[in-house]
A and B are shown apart, each in its own frame.
Chain A
Amino acid sequence: MKVNQLLRNSKIALLSFLVISVSSCIHNEFEEPPTNVIPVGKVYTIQDLYAIYDSVYFAEETESATYKFTEDCSVYAVISMDDKSGNLYKSAYMQDGIRGINLHLLSSGGLYEGDSVQIFLKDLVLGKYSGMLQLDSVDTDKNVVKVATLRDIEPEVVTISDLITYDGILGRPYIGRIVKIDNVQFQDKELGKTYADATNLITENRALENEYGDTIVVRTSGYASFADQKIPEGRGSIIALAGFYNGDWQLLIRHVGEVNFNQRRFGDYDTVLFAGFDGIDNGIAVSLTDWENYQQIGSISWLGSNNGESATVRIAGNDEANTTWLITPQVAINGAKLKFSTRGGFLTGATLKAYISNDYDGQGNAENATWTELSANIGTGPVSSFGAWTESGTIDLASYNGQAYIAFKYVTEAGQNGQFYVDDILVFNE
């Protein structure tokens, strides 16, 4: 290779490298767009939104009335329920101090329970959806600023009747809010069912009841992640969102974990002690194993009463001073409750009271022990006949945990008289 050829080659090679190292200006790095700040404007409370809506509603007198925000304004609240579990779809609820409201979202997701948010209201529409106030077409990206997270709302404890009460000023104060209802259970007819029909994705209602027979439905979407779970059979508390749909109240569950029905159903119990006195000898002084039929004063005893159809125990006075005890065997109390029935008659001063003692030794001499009177309804009766059988009501014995005795003490002063029946003494655990 000649020198000049080499030189030429190297020149060409240099040129070639330049050709190949052509750097095109193909975009690789992209500038971030400027931050788009969502303004605040006038600040409303949720109650203000209700008031704003009411003014439109009263003017137009129709449920289809709407109000569109046209100025910069915002409402601050905490998301109380999101659509993550699938029980809501494109929807969320939020609440501030005293009120709650539904948000209808343009797309699902993006808002989470506990998010403290500013909702920029401009161009949003306030309207009613099946009787419930709703902020419509909320765009999570355009209308919402998250201020803080994990601000969980303490649910307000209410009863079913509290919940459904119509308040003259606030209307329905609990609408759209998270509430906690204690001591409820699903009705018998619901047991064995799932929350909803997850197979066919159908929304279903399950009725709850409380001890007074008040009811309210739990409504669950077929798309909810827990739709295919069986409803719990027990009784207890539920935390849920109070919804209102075409005049009917309904509870919406956020998480199945907030349905805490781990107590026995109403009426279900474990018997610690029961005395129904079946087969007792009629007219004979009660003499049952471990029971005491103790005459502290006077000579009358508790007697068996058995007419072949019903068996019970009774005591009747003799116009003299008497203090006669009927004391149960020792019972172990651990949060147990007591119920019994009594019936009084021909009462001219005689009294019957129920007591409990933790220090009685079970051996006669009841007066040596400490007895606490129990608050029970005792049957009363007129002077010349019998009254009705009376339920004592459920008496909580939780304060007397440990070994205890329950006693029924009949007392008359001289010149007083009266009869009492006692039956169905039940110490039970719920």
Chain B
Amino acid sequence: MKKGILILTALLITIIGFAQEADTLPQKSPEIPVITLTDSELDEDNQSQDISGLLSSSTDVYVNIAGYTFGQARFRIRGYDNQNTYVLIDGIYVNDAETGRPYYGNWGGLNEVMRNKVVSPGLAFSDYSFGGIGGVTNIITRPSQQRAGTSISYASANKSYRNRAMFSHSTGLMDNGWAFTLSGSSRWAEEGYVQGSFYEAYSYFIGAEKKINDKHSIALTFYGSPSRRGKTGVGTAEVYELTGDNFYNPNWGYQNGVMRNAKVGTFHQPRTMLSHYWQIDPTMKLTTSVSYAAGRAGSTALNWYDAADPRPDYYRNLPSYYEEGEFMYDYLTEMWQNSETFRQLDWDSFYHANRKNLYTVEDVGGEEGVDITGNRAKFIIEDRRYDLNRIDFATLFSKELNEKTKLITGINYLSSKTHNYKLVEDLLGADWWLDIDQFAERDNADDVYIIQSDVSNPNNVVYEGELFGYDYVTNITKSSAFAQAETKLEHIDLFAGVDVSYTEFWRTGNMRNGKFPANSYGNSPTYKFLNYGVKGGANVKITGRNFVLLNAAYLTRAPFVRDAFVSPRTRHDVVDNLTSEKIYTGDISYFYRSPYVQAKITGFYTQFTDGLQSSSFYHDELRTFVNYAMTGVNKTHYGAELGIEAKLTSTFTATFATGYGKYLYSSRPSVTIAQDNSSEVLAENRTVYIKNYHVGSMPEYAASIGGKYYAPKYWFVGLNANYFAESYININPEKHTAEALNIFVTDDPQVEPILEQEKLDPGYTFDIWGGKSWRIEDYTIGFTLSINNILDNTDLITNGYEQYRFDQNDIDKFPNKYFHLYGRSYFLNVYFRF
């Protein structure tokens, strides 16, 4: 750390040194801070960050503003899940194949080399892909397209990380036909904004391109972003109140006086790409790429055997588990408020318990008479992995048929294998962990077969670094082809596209689970889906300043593997009636453009039909993971968007953006609730009465008004006021079944709170940002600074969800959980380019 500060100080001095020689040469485009505004905490295994940085280079005035001012409140454009947004890197589709989501973390810290982007928001025509209904972003990393020169920057922030150092160097296309790009960065924080969180990430990018002749170029790139971060948690109103901290993080505690986080996400999935660019003739281009990505992904977690739940915020450790006035209520309140050891993990106690838990395992590995006696772990840190191995192929052909019309067609293939397993990360002072299914053990105390994770290796004693629990691969192959054409006529631009894809997926079990011996090992059946999509649009040019845009699409989408398997950790079963989701959508916009004003107003309507939603959580009473799979989920999203950018003077621009939508469930899905440790389903095809409930977890209304001042002397400053409202929390489907209410009479006062979907309070924030740059001979130095939530409002709830546990007899037993917007946060970036 000290070394780091030293170097950075040296760097700053260098920069300041140059600054004294400041000259005032004009610079064309002032830097707009492109920053990541929020951390994605909702999705446990999701290292995806919000989309803001990506969209900020869009040319769409609404999307541009919404992208970086609304993201902080988890606003999502048109309420779409990011599964609907395609991200390509040099034409290769890089969204995760299992979940459909783009994981930006895979190239985190490579901002410099990933800055060339072509964004096609929504249903707009893309030169690279048919795309999803949320648009397509193609990131161009070709070394020959990188700005020649060197750039070094250091950023200081108080968000998920506190420091960032970046470097990149590109040669540009040199006389000898070569172009090289080298980039790297480090980002770190001993503790981020949230207590107990830490951040340690690096990145690298190496690219080489050779222009063979005027027609052919070949590029090879290799990049990756290894990262480790201590995760943050989410709590109920009660824990926030008890701790006085709306960012209370239950994941950490002291070990030997040192802060340690139990949930550490570690990712590193480098990708290698080889691309061939072929300019066949002035009107025809063929780009072909292959790519290989592989590496680790996963997160650690505490696991425990035959011990009290060690999580400090486990509901039985909270005062609310008792009645007010009871001894335990007062005791726990006192402890929560005053004892940090109590409200955080107690690592020392795990060691203490593990070091003296003598145990004998008989018939280890199924060999009679082989016994091992030692300290059996009661608490361990396990590493839950989902390592990737993926090959992609893409070829894209474009032909300009005439000056007005172009045709784009492409073929894509991907084969993705995700290896899911657990490793013993840390035995915390114990000698070994016994790999049996403790969840099955209680119900089958005398059955030594059923409790085995792998009956081929029963009573398996595992040590640090060894695999246990579950071990399977999800395999996906997807082949697709698309064609689209665009023609630009005098008064109208038209485009149309069609896409066909064939998806196959299956599960390969590497363990034969004792509970599902016939249904867990080897390959599951293969599930096959043929999907297609059509889309089209028109831009009616009423005058040179007035445009009407119309777009529509219909497509079908194969279910995502992550949702399809009922309990992939233990068996091959998939949800009943696996079927493709159907999506149709349309929008209409009016766009006004003059030298001073750009304004766009849009209305949109989207219908999702036959969707599938799965989630899984640990149920402490059943002592197992419980899996919810909702099928037949229909959703309707409709609303309006408005974006205005007015150049009031040559230096001052005012912006306004607002989006208002309704994102509603429009069917009564069926829910099936299955358990990992038993073939007995807790609920089968129960009707979930959520029609007209909100999809939730985002504000449906957001507005931002702001002004930007660009001084002639190379500095700029901007201010935004943002308002968020109409935010509903995510619902637990189980609460909305007839069975959940069967003990109540209809006029029971408890029925309403069970059924009600909580609406969060609206909120507003102010952001300020600015920067300055200097040009000294061939050098540019500058800084940008942004401060979000200037008023330091830490009470603004951005999102929440109903816990998936529900107790009819005590409806408040599992209260809602909430995320708060970070208080005042800043991001200061100092850069140096030459």
Contacts and interface: CB of A to CB of B under 8 A. Distances in A.
Interface of A: 9, 12-13, 15-28, 30-36, 38, 84-86, 106-110, 112, 115, 140-142, 144-150, 225-226, 255-257
Which 8 pairs show the lowest CB-CB distances between chains A and B?
A109-B306, A16-B167, A107-B308, A146-B358, A22-B4, A141-B353, A149-B360, A24-B188
Given A26-B200, A27-B259, A32 B429 contact: yes
Nearest to B254: A33
Given A12-B150, A12-B152, A140-B307, A32 B445 contact: no
Contacts of A33: 255-256, 347-348, 351-352
Nearest to A86: B442
Contacts of A34: 256
A19 B7 contact: yes
A110 B357 contact: yes
B571 interface: no
22 contacts: A13-B150, A13-B169, A16-B150, A17-B167, A19-B154, A19-B165, A20-B167, A20-B186, A24-B190, A27-B198, A30-B258, A109-B305, A109-B307, A110-B357, A112-B359, A140-B353, A141-B352, A141-B353, A150-B362, A225-B444, A225-B445, A226-B445
Given A23-B3, A24-B190, A30-B256, 20 more contacts: A13-B167, A15-B11, A16-B184, A19-B7, A19-B8, A19-B11, A20-B166, A21-B186, A23-B1, A24-B188, A27-B259, A30-B347, A35-B352, A35-B355, A38-B356, A86-B442, A109-B306, A110-B306, A110-B378, A146-B358
A141 B307 contact: yes
Interface string B136-180: 000000000000001010100000000101110100000000000
Nearest to A146: B358
Q: Is the interface of A mostly helix, strand, loop or mixed?
A: loop
Nearest to A24: B188
A24 B200 contact: yes
B1 A225 contact: no
Contacts of B305: 109
A142 B378 CA distance: 13
A19 B167 contact: yes
Interface string B432-469: 00000000011111100000000000000000000000
Interface string B239-270: 00000000000000001101110000000000
Given A22-B4, A225-B442, A225-B444, A146 B357 contact: yes
Given A19-B154, A141-B353, A145-B356, A26 B256 contact: no
B11 A22 contact: no
Contacts of B322: none
A86 B445 contact: yes
B185 interface: yes
Contacts of A145: 356
Nearest to B184: A20
B202 interface: yes
A110 B169 CA distance: 59
Contacts of B331: none
A149 B358 contact: yes
Contacts of A225: 442-446
B373 interface: yes
B834 interface: yes
B188 A26 contact: yes
Contacts of A144: 356
B825 to A, nearest CB: 20
Given A33-B348, A225-B444, A149 B373 contact: yes
B357 A30 contact: no
Contacts of A107: 307-308
B359 A16 contact: no
Nearest to A110: B306
Question: Most chain-A Cβ atoms within 10 A of its Cβ — which of B167, B169, B351?
Answer: B167
A79 to B, nearest CB: 12
Contacts of A141: 307, 349, 352-353, 378
B624 to A, nearest CB: 15
A81 to B, nearest CB: 12
Contacts of A22: 3-4, 7-8, 163, 165, 186, 188
A112 to B, nearest CB: 7
Nearest to B256: A33
A25 B444 contact: no
- Of listed A20, A22, A36, A140, residue having the most chain B CB within 10 A: A22
Interface in B378-409: 378
Contacts of A257: 446
A30 B358 contact: no
Interface string B352-376: 1101111110100000000001000
Contacts of B307: 107, 109-110, 140-141
B447 to A, nearest CB: 9
